[in-house]
């Protein structure tokens, strides 16, 4: 259950970062670890693929330093979803954190 809850947060992180600059799997794993999320490639890559299938991310292969990497960037539909997630997040934070007794 916890994993399921955190996966939503992780998806928002991914969309946010892919909106800043194109990102690749290993970079995301390190960035998410910095935020305290341990995510295995076996969870991250299917998540990236599902966001791509949903039309929120687009990807392309690039060769960097002799290594082939797949970079993910946000799409206009992803931007729209992120904007909505941000509004809901603000509303959620307001209720869950600020209305704490």
What does each C-alpha distance from 58 to 6, 16, 17, 30, 95 come to in angstroms?
Answer: 23, 14, 13, 21, 34
Write down the least CB distance from residue 31 to Zn ion, Å.
Answer: 5
**Toward Zn ion, which CB reaches closer, 31 or 79?**
31
Footprint of Zn ion (CB under 5 A): 31
Q: Which is nearer to Zn ion, 15 or 81 (CB)?
A: 15
| Beta bridge partners of residue 61, listed in sequence order | 70
10 Å Cβ neighbour count for 1?
Answer: 5
User: Smallest distance from the beta carbon of 99 to Zn ion, in angstroms?
Assistant: 26
The residue behind tokens 């998410």 is 32
Closest-approach residue to Zn ion (CB): 31
Q: Min. distance of Cβ 66 from Zn ion in angstroms? A: 27
């Amino acid at each position: 259950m916890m994993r399921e809850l955190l996966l939503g947060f992780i998806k928002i992180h991914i969309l946010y970062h892919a909106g800043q600059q194109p990102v690749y799997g290993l970079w995301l794993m390190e960035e998410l670890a910095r935020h305290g999320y341990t995510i295995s490639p076996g969870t991250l890559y299917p998540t990236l693929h599902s966001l791509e299938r949903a039309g929120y991310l687009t990807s392309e292969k690039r060769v960097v330093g002799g290594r082939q990497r797949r970079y993910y960037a946000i799409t206009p539909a992803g931007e729209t979803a992120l904007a909505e997630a941000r509004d809901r997040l603000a509303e959620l934070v307001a209720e869950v954190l600020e209305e704490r007794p």
